[in-house]
Amino acid sequence: MKKVNCEEVKLGVHEFLHSELHEQELEAITAHLANCDSCEGHYDIEVILNQVIQRSCDEAPAAELADRVMDRIRSIQQHD
């Protein structure tokens, strides 16, 4: 199995949480987290941060904001 160091784990935690890594990378990070308190703490913070973001993003934007964003996107597309 591939081994990873703390820096690699901390850089890959986001992708790890979202299962965006190859199986070997997932296994390597899982093994490292099981044996490294520092990285496990970093992982726990990322989990909490992702939960806060997810809760905050559950609300639909105001109709006016959505309309302004769509108008801006259409404007950009027309100029390309």
Say if 66 falls within a structural domain.
Answer: yes
Reported as a single tens digit per residue, the pLDDT across 28-79 is: 999 999 999 999 999 999 999 988 888 877 777 778 888 899 999 998 888 7
Please state the domain count of the chain. 1
Structure-block tokens of residue 57: 């993003």
Task: Say whether pLDDT at 23 is over 80.
Answer: yes
What pLDDT does residue 77 have? 86
Say if 28 falls within a structural domain.
Answer: yes
Say if 1 falls within a structural domain.
Answer: no
- In our burial notation (b when 16+ CB lie closer than 10 A, e otherwise), range 32-66 reads bbeebeebeebbeeeeeeeeeeeeeeeeeeeeeee
Say if 29 falls within a structural domain.
Answer: yes
Q: Coil, strand, or helix at residue 57?
A: coil
Say if 20 falls within a structural domain.
Answer: yes
What pLDDT does residue 80 have? 63
pTM of the model: 0.63
Say if 61 falls within a structural domain.
Answer: yes
Which residues form the domain of 70? 6-78
